[in-house]
Structure 1
Amino acid sequence: MKNELQNIISGKSSVVYGALIQTVARELERSCNASKLDKENEHFKKQETEILVELIDKEQLWISDLNLDNYVSKGAEQRVYLKDGKTVQKLNDSIYYASWQDYFHNLLLNNFFFADTAYRLDGFYKDADVVFAVVSQSFIKATEPTKLENLLTENGVLRFIDTVFYLDKTFWN
């Protein structure tokens, strides 16, 4: 399974809604390596964000028509907006992650393990100089109480939302 996950993260294998996520993650990795950015440097994420913005500009991935009137809630990690009756859009600035690459890897891992609540990367949004990834996810209506975080029960089925995966350095060995 580790090899399969490595192939998904590196873009050698596919996962539901993974194409754009893999493209952005690979381009960030390539650009950060070419720029010789050090992940241990305290300014890494700021520099990585600058590279991400260049990519967003180049590929025209900015979302300008986001409907902020459909606000649903805000967690520690992201803002949630109702897109339609079946989908929510989430804005995430990767605050829980050491890098944007880690955030995109998290999305890919979520999509592998929990395809029923897979994230689709719609593009990016900027608010007060903060860059947000805009992702869509199925709207899960909790029909029963669930006592665990980031887990909802819909018609007797557990649905994982807002999962957080972290890969340590040994994952690539």
Structure 2
Amino acid sequence: MKNVKDELQNIVFGDEQTSSDSRLKKAQNFLRGYAEASGPIEKQQRFKDKETAAVISFATKENLFYTTSILPKDFISEGAEQKVYRFDDAHVLKTNQGVFYESWLDYFNSLLVHNFFFPTTAYTFLGFQLIEDELYSVVKQEFIISNENTDLEAVKEFLEYNGFRNKRNNDYFNPDIGLIFEDLHDENVLSYDGIFYFVDTIFYLTQTFYTK
């Protein structure tokens, strides 16, 4: 488990960019630097408002806005956190305002952690978009079709085998890595021929994650 934590720390704290996640990592690097420069955070919402303004400025300068129109006819579904649209025959597009996270940095850290654990359903960050003057992230993800109901008890066994302890309901915690993993209900974990596909994940880094 130590090697997994080391790899994740290198991904989250490193500055390296690969061709597959260069835009994602560029945004995360900026947000990490912004958080470090901002110092102690007294009021989280005030910080996120300032962070959002900084992101808009950064995205404009770095051409990180997704300029393709997202059409209502391509709408598929929505949850509390995001809306889902058809992108092509193999992928969906998801817009997310980061409402489940205290900062945009937390959201992008979660994307990086997801891509590490679940490369089959990895998020490709396409850019930001302003929708009705509100900032959204736009990501692309492989479109997964399930052919059976998800057995949440089997999901629990799978996660516990991999070091994630069930806290309550569909929320988990990995004490060795320092990760909280939440909201794993049957719409966020799809099943196809007994194989689980984690399509919507929420990861939070705890203080334990930052220690060696």
TM-score by length of 2: 0.75
Q: 1:55 to 1:13 in 2, by over 3 A?
A: closer
Unmatched runs of 5 consecutive residues or more in structure 2: 153-184
Counterpart residue number, 2:115: 111
Q: Is the 8 A contact 2:17 2:26 kept in 1?
A: no
1:33 deviates by 2.8
Task: Give the one of 12, 27, 31 matched to 1:24.
Answer: 27
Q: Hey, what does 1:44 align to over in structure 2?
A: 47
Determine the structure 2 residue equivalent to 1:61: 64
Which of 165, 168, 171 in structure 1 is aligned with 2:203?
Answer: 165
Please give the per-residue CA displacement for 1:17-39, whole angstroms capped at 9, x wherever unaligned. 332212111111213333x2533
> Cα–Cα, structure 1 residues 14 and 8, in superposed 2: closer, same or farther, change >3 Å?
farther
Return the alpha-carbon distance in structure 2 between the equivalents of residues 115 and 13 of structure 1. 18
The CA deviation at 1:145 is 1.3
Q: Give the residue type in structure 2 aligned to 1:27.
A: F
2:194 corresponding residue in structure 1:
156
Bigger Rg, which one = 2
Q: CA deviation at 1:13?
A: 5.7
**RMSD between aligned alpha carbons?**
1.8
**Cα separation, partners in 2 of 1:117 and 1:139, compared to 1, 3 Å:** same
Aligned CA distance change for structure 1 residues 37 and 52 (closer, same or farther; 3 Å): farther
Q: Secondary structure at the match of 1:165?
A: strand
Matches within 5 A, 1:126-137: 126-137=130-141
Deviation at 1:169, TM superposition (A): 2.2
Could you tell me the percent identity over the aligned residues?
38
Q: Does 1:121 align with 2:159?
A: no
**Does the residue aligned with 2:144 lie in a helix, a strand or coil?**
coil
Shift of 1:128: 1.4
For the pair 1:9 / 2:21, whether they are aligned, the reply is no
Structure 1 match to 2:87: 83
Which residue number in structure 2 is paired with residue 73 of structure 1?
A: 77
1:145 aligns with 2:169: no
Partner of 1:96: 100
1:135, distance to aligned residue in structure 2 (A): 0.3
Cross-structure match for 2:175: none
